[in-house]
Structure 1
Amino acid sequence: MLDMRDQPALQRSHGTARLGIVARHGRPALADLYQAGSAKVFLPRGGGAPDEAVFLNTSGGLTGGDRISFALTLAPGLRLTATTQTAERAYASPGPAAALDVDLTVGAGARLDWLPQETILFEGSHLRRTTRVSLAADATCLLSETLVLGRLAMGEDVTAARLLDRRSVLRDGRPVWSDAVTIDRESLACRTARASLGPARALAVIALIAPGAEDAAGALRPLLEAPDCETALSAWNGRLILRLTARDSWPLKRQMARLLGQLRGSALPRVWQMNGDIA
């Protein structure tokens, strides 16, 4: 009989990517770029006047003991969109959690759109993710996060996975919004409960944290009805929150593209590969 205690320790994936954007002569410019291990960040339009950044985990996914961290600092008065090159994948982990930490800092009068692509949880996965956003008094952040519980087209059904996903936004050091999602075997077993996901296997949150964010709600309400996707909206005191669920990731992603397009006033990053099909 195989004794697991005799198995060699597996190599784990570690990586850190850090980006800093400042203003030079009234234009955005690269001030800090650090990459180590399997975490990378690149600027699709070059480093001269960057307005978009793409983060990447080159290990191809996360499993037990992996550690990845992304960090971004945006100087006052600038606007930047940051995303990830592809979907993140959390694979089976019999042992400790994989960890993904994201730290975002937005200066006075600046706006950051943090729009990572979806995270797919596979059977037996174990992931702990923390996203922290620090805003100056009048800064703006638009952020989204998407979770997919297995791929419907591949016949995957996730019944055992562990996730602790935390997001927090601070303005001038004071918390203004926090959100957390916990998934474990017990919660997956009672998905048919009224307060649970039901048949949905894809869920997302979109948050606009900005002075007067609630004023954007009126233009979004006509967009809430979408085929095969349920969307809820709340808006108050500088916060606008959208929550979405769907049975599959594609209708949810289409709906996200419509809503984010309205909030941004521009198309999504090209790496999302939506092909303009968001009507």
Structure 2
Amino acid sequence: MFDASAPSVTMQRSQGAAHVVMGPRGLIDLSQRGSAKAMLPRMTAGLPEIVFLNTSGGLASGDRLAFAVDLRPGTRALATTQTAERAYRATDDPAQAQVSLTVGAGGWLDWLPQETILFHGSKLDRHTRIDLAGDAGCMLLETVVLGRIAMDEVPARLHLRDRREVYRDGRILHHDALALDDATLPRLAGPALTGTARALATLAVIAPHAPDLLTRARDVLNEPGVTGAASAPPGRLVIRLLAQGDWPLRRQVNRLLGALRPDPLPRIWQV
């Protein structure tokens, strides 16, 4: 028998931070602590890659995780994650994830993390900020999967606050936010929201030439099982995707990346 009067146990929480600084000739500085790690695989083609890893295996209540990249002027690179991030059931405060990306003048960053899987009862607050200097540009991807699709898990409870902001020389260019909670989940099935989709993604290009890519993007928005739309406000290209499964969504994302960028897909991805 359990003793209901026994004091509650304080669970251990994971904390991690990894920071990579790169210049045109390669790595300048690397710092990492706790559960956050960064790897720089040797590349023979495409952009230099930065691969972040959360060694705790996922995010639970009260965990804190921070990834940061600083690209010096004239530096081009791709940053991704080794695997999908998992947000587990939380009994207390949300997990906190912070992504800070800085791109110097004349530089370019592809921020292409793998998907985030939200388990039933998960709680996650995440903030991604990209600071561009001068004529720098970036591509950023965010993919969210509701529940473990292979196990037919449909979350009835969760909390997500996800913000992505892009600034140029201190002035905001792009702001994208997603909020989900117990009250909003039952309404997602409406035709104006996600319908029956269990996986959703946003791909954005922030650069003066981004609107010129609109036709190219729309030409490949034809993956079976995926609904997509693209728009091109000044200085941006924004693509929204919805799918019932994560693999059709991944295939559509791969086709878009192949059409919009000259470099190979991230080496770490399973395609």
Q: TM-score range by the shorter chain?
A: over 0.9
Counterpart check, 1:254 vs 2:262:
no
- Structure 2 Cα separation of the partners of residues 11 and 139 of structure 1: 41
Instruction: Select the residue among 162, 165, 179 that pairs with 2:162.
Output: 165
Counterpart check, 1:92 vs 2:89:
yes
Q: For 1:255-270, what aligned pairs fall within 5 Å after superposition?
A: 255-270=252-267
For residues 171-210 of structure 1, give each alpha carbon's deviation from its aligned partner in whole angstroms, at most 9, with x where no partner exists: 0000000000001011111122222211001000000001
- The aligned residue for residue 16 of structure 2 is 15
- Structure 2 Cα separation of the partners of residues 51 and 4 of structure 1: 56
Letter in 1 for 2:163: R
Deviation for aligned residue 1:8: 1.6
Give the match's secondary structure for 1:186: coil
Deviation for aligned residue 1:267: 2.0
Aligned-CA RMSD value: 1.5
Deviation for aligned residue 1:110: 0.4
Query: Does the CA contact (< 8 Å) of 1:135 and 1:172 recur in 2?
Result: yes
Deviation for aligned residue 1:4: 8.1
Give the match's secondary structure for 2:258: helix
Counterpart check, 1:63 vs 2:64:
no
- The aligned residue for residue 134 of structure 1 is 131
Letter in 1 for 2:119: F
Letter in 2 for 1:149: L
Deviation for aligned residue 1:249: 0.4
Query: Does the CA contact (< 8 Å) of 2:23 and 2:74 recur in 1?
Result: no
Give the match's secondary structure for 1:11: coil
Q: For 1:104-119, what aligned pairs fall within 5 Å after superposition?
A: 104-119=101-116
- Structure 1 Cα separation of the partners of residues 222 and 140 of structure 2: 21
Q: For 1:1-279, what aligned pairs fall within 5 Å after superposition?
A: 2-3=3-4, 6-23=7-24, 28-45=25-42, 51-274=48-271
Letter in 2 for 1:126: K
Count of residue correspondences: 268
Deviation for aligned residue 1:233: 0.2
- Structure 2 Cα separation of the partners of residues 2 and 43 of structure 1: 50
Q: Structure 1 vs Structure 2: percent identity of aligned residues?
A: 52
Structure 1 residues 2 and 210: CA distance shift in structure 2, 3 A = farther
Give the match's secondary structure for 1:219: helix
Deviation for aligned residue 1:220: 1.5
- Structure 2 Cα separation of the partners of residues 247 and 197 of structure 1: 10
Letter in 1 for 2:194: L
Query: Does the CA contact (< 8 Å) of 1:212 and 1:237 recur in 2?
Result: no
- Structure 2 Cα separation of the partners of residues 122 and 4 of structure 1: 30
Give the match's secondary structure for 1:215: helix
Letter in 1 for 2:21: G
Deviation for aligned residue 1:30: 1.1
Structure 1 residues 4 and 240: CA distance shift in structure 2, 3 A = farther
Letter in 2 for 1:173: G
- Structure 2 Cα separation of the partners of residues 5 and 123 of structure 1: 28
- Structure 1 Cα separation of the partners of residues 15 and 251 of structure 2: 33
- Structure 2 Cα separation of the partners of residues 166 and 67 of structure 1: 16
Task: Tell me the TM-score normalized by structure 1.
Answer: 0.93
Give the match's secondary structure for 2:58: coil
Give the match's secondary structure for 2:256: helix
- Structure 1 Cα separation of the partners of residues 160 and 209 of structure 2: 33
Give the match's secondary structure for 1:18: strand
Task: Mark the runs of 5 or more structure 1 residues left unpaired by the alignment.
Answer: 275-279
